[in-house]
Structure 1
Amino acid sequence: MKPPRRFRPAPIPSLVFAVLLPLFLYLGYWQLQRAEEKRLLQVEYDTRANGPAVQVERRLQRAEELRFYRVVAKGHYETDYQILIDNRVHQGRVGYHVITPLRLENSEVRLLVNRGWIALGEDRDHLPVFETPAGLQQVTGVATVPAEKYFTLAQPEPGWQRVWQNMDLARYGAVVPFPVQPVVLLLDPASGAGGFTRDWSRLDAGISVHQGYAFQWFMLAAALASIYLFMSLRRRGTDTPEQEQP
């Protein structure tokens, strides 16, 4: 008859278990929290965007006054400080988002308008050529606040560049000689104000991804616990040296 097993954990596996198990559980719950944040943002987005359109005022406004609302504004596009946001993907193709400042009618304040996606040019040394309509434009769309935290491989060079890796409102406001509303308008797909491909993704599009990552972290935690228990349950007598044979 085999001797019964006893729980006799070794020091090093116990230390590894004590460090990794809370880490795996934390990462799993963090991913669930990110999924819930996206869900709540989408609820707020849908509530505001489906309401009456809000007029963008000629004065500088607070981001909360405009964020996620469907807004309308009149003004003139200015191409001197137009930028391209790099590495935007549409249907598997790499390209840019075109961000054009709109000088609000009878105001010095500009509103940044994301006019949509355009394909990469011949190569990155030759930027794509596109048109920007002149004259008074009326733009409609949903006002968004770009993320303040994002991944970047290198810090941007000082001064003005035509191509940016991310839409950084603080950086943009620091390098242009005019005041800028603290939002970026996603030009409505039905708008005729000089737009390109405008297949805007939902804010909650990544919920299933976060849930999948959470499941993986919890499975790793369960696997770690199982391995630790298996290694720590020893049969009586197996942890003592064998007696020497006479």
Structure 2
Amino acid sequence: MRIAFRFKPVPFVATLVLVILGIALGRWQDRRAEEKMAVAAELAGGSTAAPLVLGAQSIEPQHAQFRRVTATGTFVPDWPVYLDNRPHDGRAGFYVLMPFRIDGTAMHVLVARGWLPRDVADRQRIAPYPTPQGTITITGVAKPGAGHVMELGDAPPVQAGAIVQNADAAKVAAASGLQLQPFVLEQTSADGSERVLLRDWPKPDLGVDKHRGYAFQWYALALTALLFFIISGLNIGKSSGTKTDQ
């Protein structure tokens, strides 16, 4: 049996492009998975570390991100903001955001107080919920924001009592004139409102397995292209031989 390989320039170039593309995209997905694993480690570390006590000084987001934080002060009840399209267990509702003034300072932190169901008859109506009066201490987790949802058309302005799709500390600070820490405190502590404002916060889906699956698919594409080029180029034939007379 004789095995020969027929080299064809055009299939070779196409195969080379697919192999390079598959490996490059596979490595990119691997890096994305590593980044998500680093975030998961940051979350785990932040949940076990001592709480960060908020005061008058602004804290850089990267120093507070995913850490447990605590603050003593008072809520600013006349500046709530409601984030729409935040379902919970299949029910439509809002996230309630409210500034919290840190005691003895002009600094505030924007607190995600919890989830509130939407009125099915009138989506503009906000059901009543209690807000603690006076000085209290709250704890929670510092997050870059309260989540982002897709919105169509022009976004309504952020203002006191507004129902909006998205808002963050920077937008609320600009609209209210309040000095705010550059992150959101996702409240986990009880303050007497937890029977109305649910704090069953969703855990972040980091998608590590998704990125690993995508990486496997890209590597498989590169390998398949290479094998196809090799197999399609093989020319297998019978070798000819001569008989000798006895």
TM-score by length of 2: 0.75
Give the match for residue 222 of structure 1.
Answer: 223
Letter in 2 for 1:74: T
CA offsets per residue over residues 137-193 of structure 1, 9 Å max, x none? Answer: 321112122399x774557537326234344443333333111101211111x4225
CA offsets per residue over residues 69-122 of structure 1, 9 Å max, x none? Answer: 322112222244322333434344453322221122233222111122334442
CA offsets per residue over residues 27-82 of structure 1, 9 Å max, x none? Answer: 32222222222222222332233222222103333324433332211222224432
CA contact (8 A) 1:110 1:181 kept: yes
CA contact (8 A) 2:151 2:165 kept: no
Give the match for residue 176 of structure 2.
Answer: 176
Letter in 1 for 2:163: V
CA contact (8 A) 2:29 2:212 kept: yes
CA contact (8 A) 2:75 2:99 kept: yes
CA distance in structure 2 between the partners assigned to 1:21 and 1:118 by the alignment: 51
Would you say 1:83 and 2:90 are equivalent positions? no
Which consecutive unaligned segments of at least 5 residues does structure 2 have? 238-246
State the number of aligned residues: 232
1:31 to 29, 45, 52: 29
Give the match for residue 206 of structure 1.
Answer: 207
When Rg is computed on C-alpha atoms for both structures, the one with the higher figure is: 2
Bigger mean CA deviation after superposition, 33-42 or 81-90: 81-90
CA distance in structure 1 between the partners assigned to 2:128 and 2:22 by the alignment: 48
CA contact (8 A) 2:158 2:172 kept: no
Give the match for residue 157 of structure 2.
Answer: 159
Which consecutive unaligned segments of at least 5 residues does structure 1 have? 238-246
Q: Cα distance, 1:132 vs. partner? A: 4.1
CA distance in structure 2 between the partners assigned to 1:227 and 1:118 by the alignment: 57
Q: SS at the partner of 2:207? A: helix
Q: SS at the partner of 1:200? A: coil
Letter in 2 for 1:173: A
2:99 to 93, 98, 101: 101
CA distance in structure 2 between the partners assigned to 1:214 and 1:171 by the alignment: 37
Q: Cα distance, 1:129 vs. partner? A: 2.0
Q: Cα distance, 1:131 vs. partner? A: 1.2
CA contact (8 A) 1:71 1:140 kept: yes
CA contact (8 A) 2:156 2:164 kept: no
Letter in 2 for 1:56: L
Identity across the alignment (%): 29
Letter in 1 for 2:99: P
Letter in 2 for 1:175: A
TM-score by length of 1: 0.75
CA distance in structure 2 between the partners assigned to 1:236 and 1:88 by the alignment: 63
Give the match for residue 140 of structure 2.
Answer: 141
CA contact (8 A) 1:138 1:193 kept: no
Q: SS at the partner of 1:90? A: coil
